[in-house]
A and B are shown apart, each in its own frame.
Chain A
Amino acid sequence: MKTENAETNVLPLELHDLTVAYHSKPVIYGIDVEVPAGKLVGIVGPNGAGKSTLLKAVMGVLKPTAGWVKIFGEDAKDNLRRIGYVPQRESVDWDFPVTVMDVVLMGRYGKLKWFGWPSKADRHLARECLEKVAMLPYANRQIANLSGGQQQRIFLARALAQEADLYLMDEPFAGVDAATERAIITLLHEMRDAGKTILVVHHDLPTAQNYFDMLLLLNMRLVGFGPTKEMFTQENLQKTYGGRLTILSEIADAMGREA
């Protein structure tokens, strides 16, 4: 199943003591995680647990206040080309005057030279990615006329166009119809079987149990990380969702006030 290569021993993602603060107010504390290759990992936790922050810190979009991130054994910023990213759907303006094709092509921009424009080969690849999410017929539509599920598929196609090895997805199942949800999970399983490593921020606990190989339970700090069966216990979920850890969030608030 998994493609054997020289890198099988190199971890796709390694976080060590990762701490991130917004305006000096810590959002995630000392996260240590080693994600093995070829796994579909669900990141689960309540609102404000720092799930999106974790993804952004991995990519260096947010600068960690402490700790480090390694991607395939190298500094994150030197290995960004191996990361594919699906931001939250609401993070962009869907009235923007671009077509579906334009958006998917953006997945190729990381590989462009400084003054480069996307090539014919890039276009060809973008079409293939659109086909994988069943959106090719919409290639020339303006993005404003799409449904929520379709918008999410576009973002997935853009991530596919990145041809990455490690994928970070922020709530790809939020606000999509049942058909799209099924299509996305099938696609994620295909990608996993092709040896990709995928981290998915997920909101819905009941489905999390069936969708993912591993779970990362997060509530400002790491509650647990391991195979879904072992993680999905009453006790763990209680720890994750049973209110924020009072002392941690009090200290975070205090540090926010000091700053």
Chain B
Amino acid sequence: MSTVNYSRRLLPALLVLVIFCVVVPSAHAARPAEFVENDVWEQMMRFLSLRDQGVRLVLGGSLLLGIGCGVLGSFMVVRKLALAGDALAHGVLPGVVLGFLWNLTKDPLHLFVGAVISGMLSMAVVTVLKRTTKLKQDAILGIVLSGFFAIGTCLLTMGFGLEAGHKAGLDHFMFGQAAALDHLDIQAMSWVTGVSLVIVALLYPKFLLLSFDQAFASSLGLPVRFLHQLMMLLLTFSVVVALQAVGVVLVSAMLVTPAASAYLLTKRFHIMLVWAAGFGMLSGAVGALLSFLGSGLPTGPLMVLSASAIFTIVFCFSPQQGIVIKHFRHVNRQRRVVLENLLKAVYHASERDAHTSDGMTLLDLAKVKRQTLDTIQQDVGGLVRRGLATLSHDGDVLYLTDAGMSRAAQLVRNHRLWELYLTNAADYAADHVHDDAERIEHILGEATVRDLERRLDFPSVDPHGSPIPALSAKS
């Protein structure tokens, strides 16, 4: 019950969040002051038709970063290294800026080399701290993340001071600007993503084992440490690919959120990879589109908002764990219990007068169930719709159909068998068993019932002396 109450309280909050995620960016984008010449639809058509070279670059970049982050992020999520991804993302910043300061151009190669060196350096510091101190992972990551980020921010501010820094759009590295991607960037991103994906595909069994059971992996003689370093290198690659479009601050969200959404959806890791890549691409593309419509909004936050919206949807509606789905399932079950209890009431009434009458007035039913006539009429409607009962012409008397009668007999049988089982086998007192049986009767499966019958040696009377109905109601 408590989870239900919890989800009920949570639901409105979630709806607000979803609406917020969807409406706020678009509302902002639609503010007329921002568009002197183009309106939103025209902008959207421009984006979707891919007429512009610029739009194609932006979209391509977003898709590439979505795949890379989704796939590598999945490994981080299942290895409980999600925060290491965050530390790495901040750790690359000093390298990126130094790569730029090297010769004051935004040459992707220099930025890439700088980022990889600085990212791996940050991870090395984490490893050293972990090995030589008693500090736990979270504290170590906190230190490294903020330290490297501070260095990076200082360097970035210095870079701003230079005129070339402004021109190269160095400021975009903080919050991301997909529109700043040029041809060379996309080329570099494609190569890096392609190489990463090929390596992951070739080494998939090894990476899977490393993630699931490292001790077993090293017992097989696999080079565990090398594989881990390689995975971190690939992670650095995907961070660097995403850097310009998403920005340092939020890259980790693109690693974690699509992968976490995928994690809620599947029980197979390779399928999780596919979902995560898909969610990553979708959030990338939607974020780029929103940014395009809002002319000049930073892309990073918009992509992350899209990813969060996807996560929210999955959280609510995933078939197994979605809380909305769970809620509906619960409501359905409650409804079924109410109807089944009505069936039982009719059965009991007919049992009292030795099955001579085959109907019961709604008024009597309301009295027995201590409900208002309105409620009873409503519930009876449910029985009629399911073909379990019919009403007399004036609507006053309820008759069970054959199906309804046999379901009622089944319930009563479940109830009485369970009572008997509790008193006989579990040593319950006869006056303690009724409430428990009231709950259990609705969920006992056919197999369990047969098993109960066998164990109780096919009884005919329950602990209170009432007959246990046979399998077929008409007999």
Contact = CB atoms under 8 A, between A and B. Distances in A.
A87 B78 CA distance: 19
A83 B219 contact: yes
Interface residues of A, number: 33
Contacts of B208: 98, 102, 106
Q: How would you classify the secondary structure of chain B's contact residues: helix, strand, loop or mixed?
A: helix
Interface string B189-229: 00000000000001111101101110111111110000000
Interface string A114-126: 1111100000000
A191 interface: no
B220 A99 contact: no
A102 B219 CA distance: 18
Contacts, number: 79
Contacts of B213: 87, 91-92, 106
B474 interface: no
Interface size class of B (residues with CB under 8 A): 20 to 34
B269 interface: yes
B203 A97 contact: no
A96 B263 CA distance: 9
Interface string A96-112: 11110011001001101
B216 A97 contact: no
Interface centre among B217, B266, B268 (most CB of A within 10 A): B268
Given A80-B219, A110-B221, A118 B205 contact: yes
B272 interface: yes
Nearest to B218: A61
Given A98-B212, A142-B267, A116 B205 contact: yes
B219 A61 contact: yes
A109 B215 contact: no
A13 B212 CA distance: 28
28 contacts: A59-B219, A61-B218, A61-B219, A80-B221, A83-B219, A91-B213, A91-B215, A92-B213, A93-B212, A96-B212, A97-B263, A97-B268, A97-B271, A98-B208, A102-B208, A102-B269, A106-B208, A106-B212, A109-B206, A109-B209, A110-B221, A110-B222, A112-B205, A116-B205, A117-B204, A118-B205, A142-B267, A168-B219
Interface of A: 56, 59-61, 77, 80-81, 83, 85, 87, 91-93, 96-99, 102-103, 106, 109-110, 112, 114-118, 142, 144, 158, 162, 168
Given A80-B220, A110-B222, A114-B203, 17 more contacts: A80-B219, A93-B78, A97-B263, A97-B267, A97-B268, A97-B269, A98-B267, A98-B269, A99-B268, A102-B208, A102-B269, A106-B205, A106-B209, A109-B205, A110-B220, A112-B205, A115-B202
